[in-house]
């Protein structure tokens, strides 16, 4: 929860709600925390701070101990979380005001994947004193492909909901949830709406329903109220390459949703929701004690304040943490403890753990071959060993080390990508494929990388390559002049992209003989590869 916050801190008997309250350019006076007030409104009682959360912390501690006793390989698992975004709109055209575009939704999901995996571009801004404790949670948020009836979603990850209401209070959103929520044991539900009273957003803590001695509150701890709610002007990022959207200036990097989903995964604010007592913390030893929420800190983010300097050995306030109220530009890390805490929750908490169950196995042996004749890239892979796979999701990164983005969903094990740029200049693409069941996603396959070539026919002509005879029955010969390199790699593929043979042309000043007699009659692709150029030519075996 961020800035002008109000929330419910309840576990089991009281579900916690985190309210994010924004501030405009003419900032209002900061409001006090309204925990007791909101609890009293919902239950008619006031529960002292920490009464129920301490039992959750003990439950979490037990789960972390159990996890530590299991095999280490579990720590290497990437948890896939299907996301459904309910866009509460007034009937505007898609992309206008509350009826936000799919691109804005996907920019937010991309931002979360970068933030939760320590892939965000501003990691260099993490102060040196905190770099050793910066952690990655290994979560991958994916737009859901199938709805609750197992039908393919027209806009992956999006459910548009029309309402004549233009403005939404917390209570009104909660009343809407039962009618719109998708099974929270399968999806992370996020509602995006025009929130009232300067609210930026709020989220619901995981419920520790199996904590000894506690029974969930049947009124509030149900499958009808769970997920996160974000104001539409604070949902999305202008820094993921997906577009530029009409977002609040101080919250335009998607960190509002990163923050709220952190709550959904069991994280507390770094100050432990008590701005007066340095002994109250967030149960993570690698976040320094603080009584400051870092609200309003932005600009160059220069702040070395230590609000708990009386604590021996305490470091400056970690305003760069996603669980503070600092502006988006200042946030850039979760800690190792926070990452471990979230992974423990997703593997243990009611409803959260169901999301990651029945994950299919990854597809195998992905290959990618550039075909100059059609300026496309042919992808082939071996099917996932799992029997619950419904389709395959193809992802592509358009630069070395770039962000993977979805390009297609197919049912087979081959795909021709004809959406690449024309081959006027060399460009490297990286692909991976994910198996999809109706409930979840697999780990990605191996990555396949391919580089398109510069003006294939001109390069061939300029270097005077010759292939003869063609067609041929037994041997073909290659010759060239002025190629500019001493050694070339020669590969032969069938039309399905399968590699059949490879050899080196070690001296391009001499002709190269290649035997093709063992190949069946038909059409093949001969690929000539230098360190940074590639040529392809058809050959015929008769």
- Per-residue b/e over 466-495, b at no fewer than 16 CB within 10 Å? ebeeeebeeebebebeebeeeebebbbbee
Q: Which residue has the tokens 């530009």?
A: 329
Give backbone dihedrals phi and psi of 467, rounded to 5 degrees, phi first: -125, 120
Q: Tell which residue, 266, 268, 306, has the closest CA to residue 288.
A: 306
What is the rounded distance in angstroms from the CA atom of residue 168 to the CA atom of residue 165?
7
What's residue 529's pLDDT? 80
Q: Tell which residue, 462, 459, 507, has the closest CA to residue 487.
A: 507
Give residue 398's pLDDT band: very low, low, confident or very high (50, 70, 90).
Answer: confident
Lowest mean pLDDT among 18-32, 118-132, 147-161, 306-320: 18-32
Could you read off the pLDDT of 399-426 as tens digits, one per residue? Answer: 877 888 888 899 989 999 988 876 556 6
Classified as helix, coil or strand, 179 is helix
Predicted TM-score (pTM) of this structure: 0.72
| Statement: residue 63 has pLDDT above 60 | no
With contact defined as beta carbons under 8 Å apart, do 123 and 333 qualify?
yes
Could you read off the pLDDT of 484-497 as tens digits, one per residue? Answer: 566 788 999 888 77
Classified as helix, coil or strand, 460 is helix
What's residue 485's pLDDT? 61
Q: How many CB atoms lie within 10 A of CB 164?
A: 6
Token pair of 85, please? 């975004």
Q: How many CB atoms lie within 10 A of CB 23?
A: 19
Give residue 65's pLDDT band: very low, low, confident or very high (50, 70, 90).
Answer: low
**What is the β-pairing status of strands 158-162 and 79-89?**
parallel
Question: Per-residue pLDDT averaged across 139-162, rounded?
Answer: 93
Of the two residues 108 and 439, the one the predictor is more confident about is 108
What's residue 233's pLDDT? 95
Mean pLDDT of the chain: 78
* Positions marked catalytic: 260
The three-state (H, E, C) secondary structure of 165-177, written as one string = CCCECHHHHHHHH
Give residue 518's pLDDT band: very low, low, confident or very high (50, 70, 90).
Answer: very high
Could you read off the pLDDT of 2-34 as tens digits, one per residue? Answer: 433 333 332 232 334 444 443 333 233 323 222
What's residue 208's pLDDT? 63
What's residue 464's pLDDT? 63
Could you read off the pLDDT of 424-483 as tens digits, one per residue? Answer: 566 788 999 999 988 889 889 899 888 776 544 444 445 567 889 999 999 999 887 655
Could you read off the pLDDT of 178-202 as tens digits, one per residue? Answer: 999 999 999 999 999 999 878 888 8
With contact defined as beta carbons under 8 Å apart, do 349 and 207 qualify?
yes
Lowest mean pLDDT among 230-234, 373-377, 526-530: 373-377
Give residue 241's pLDDT band: very low, low, confident or very high (50, 70, 90).
Answer: confident
Give me the domains of the chain, ranges plus CATH numbers.
6-353 (3.40.390.10), 364-451 (2.60.40.10), 456-541 (2.60.40.3080)
User: What is the torsional sign of CA 213, 218, 220, 223?
Assistant: positive
What's residue 454's pLDDT? 52
What is the rounded distance in angstroms from the CA atom of residue 439 to the CA atom of residue 185?
10
Classified as helix, coil or strand, 6 is strand
What is the rounded distance in angstroms from the CA atom of residue 478 to the CA atom of residue 539?
12
What's residue 13's pLDDT? 29
Could you read off the pLDDT of 331-355 as tens digits, one per residue? Answer: 999 999 999 988 988 888 888 888 8
Q: Which residue has the tokens 């109706």?
A: 438
Give residue 391's pLDDT band: very low, low, confident or very high (50, 70, 90).
Answer: very high
């Amino acid at each position: 929860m961020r800035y002008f916050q109000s929330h419910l801190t309840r576990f089991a008997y009281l579900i916690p709600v985190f309210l994010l309250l924004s501030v405009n350019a003419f900032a209002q006076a900061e409001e006090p925390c309204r925990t007791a007030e909101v609890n009293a409104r919902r239950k008619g009682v006031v529960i002292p701070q920490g009464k129920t959360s301490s039992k959750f912390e003990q439950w979490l501690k037990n789960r972390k101990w159990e996890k530590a006793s299991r095999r280490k390989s579990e720590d290497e698992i990437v948890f896939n979380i299907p996301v459904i975004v309910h866009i509460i709109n007034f009937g505007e055209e898609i992309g206008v005001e509350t009826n936000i575009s799919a691109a804005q939704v996907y920019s937010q999901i991309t931002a979360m994947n970068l933030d939760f995996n320590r892939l965000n571009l501003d990691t260099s801004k993490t102060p040196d004193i905190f770099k050793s404790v910066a952690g990655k949670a290994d979560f991958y948020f994916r737009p859901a492909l199938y709805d609750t009836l197992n039908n393919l979603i027209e806009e992956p990850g999006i459910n548009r909901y029309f309402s004549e209401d233009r403005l939404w209070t917390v209570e009104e959103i909660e009343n809407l949830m039962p009618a719109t929520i998708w099974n929270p044991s399968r999806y992370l539900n996020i509602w995006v709406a025009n929130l009232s009273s300067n609210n930026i957003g709020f989220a619901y803590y995981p419920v520790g329903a199996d904590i000894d001695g506690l029974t969930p509150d049947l009124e509030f701890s149900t499958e009808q109220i769970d997920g996160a709610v974000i104001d539409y002007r604070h949902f999305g990022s202008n820094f993921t390459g997906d577009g530029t959207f009409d977002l609040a200036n101080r919250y335009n990097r998607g960190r509002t949703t990163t923050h709220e989903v952190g709550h959904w995964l069991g994280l507390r604010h770094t100050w432990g929701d008590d701005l007066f007592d340095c002994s109250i913390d967030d149960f993570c030893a690698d976040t320094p004690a603080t009584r400051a929420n870092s609200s309003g800190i932005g600009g160059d983010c220069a702040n070395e304040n230590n609000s708990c300097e009386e604590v021996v050995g305490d470091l400056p306030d970690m305003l760069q943490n996603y669980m503070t109220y600092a502006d988006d530009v200042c946030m850039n890390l979760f800690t190792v403890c926070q990452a471990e805490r979230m992974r423990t929750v997703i593997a243990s908490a009611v409803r959260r753990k169901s999301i990651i169950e029945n994950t299919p196995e990854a597809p195998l042996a992905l290959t990618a071959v550039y075909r100059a004749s059609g300026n496309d890239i042919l992808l082939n892979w071996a099917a996932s060993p799992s029997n619950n796979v419904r389709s395959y999701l193809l992802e592509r990164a358009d630069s070395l080390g770039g962000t993977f983005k979805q390009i297609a969903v197919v049912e087979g094990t081959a795909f021709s990508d004809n959406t690449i740029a024309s081959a006027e200049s060399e460009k490297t693409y990286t692909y991976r494929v994910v198996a999809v069941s109706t409930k979840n996603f697999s780990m990605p396959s191996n990555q396949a990388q391919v580089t398109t070539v510069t003006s294939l026919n001109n390069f061939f002509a300029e270097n005077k390559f010759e292939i003869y005879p063609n067609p041929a029955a037994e041997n073909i010969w290659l010759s060239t002049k002025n190629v500019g390199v001493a050694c070339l790699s020669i590969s032969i593929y069938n039309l399905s992209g399968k590699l059949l043979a490879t050899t080196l042309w070690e001296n391009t000043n001499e002709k190269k003989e290649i035997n093709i007699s063992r190949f069946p009659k038909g059409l093949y692709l001969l690929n000539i590869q230098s360190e940074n150029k590639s040529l392809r030519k058809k050959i015929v075996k008769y």
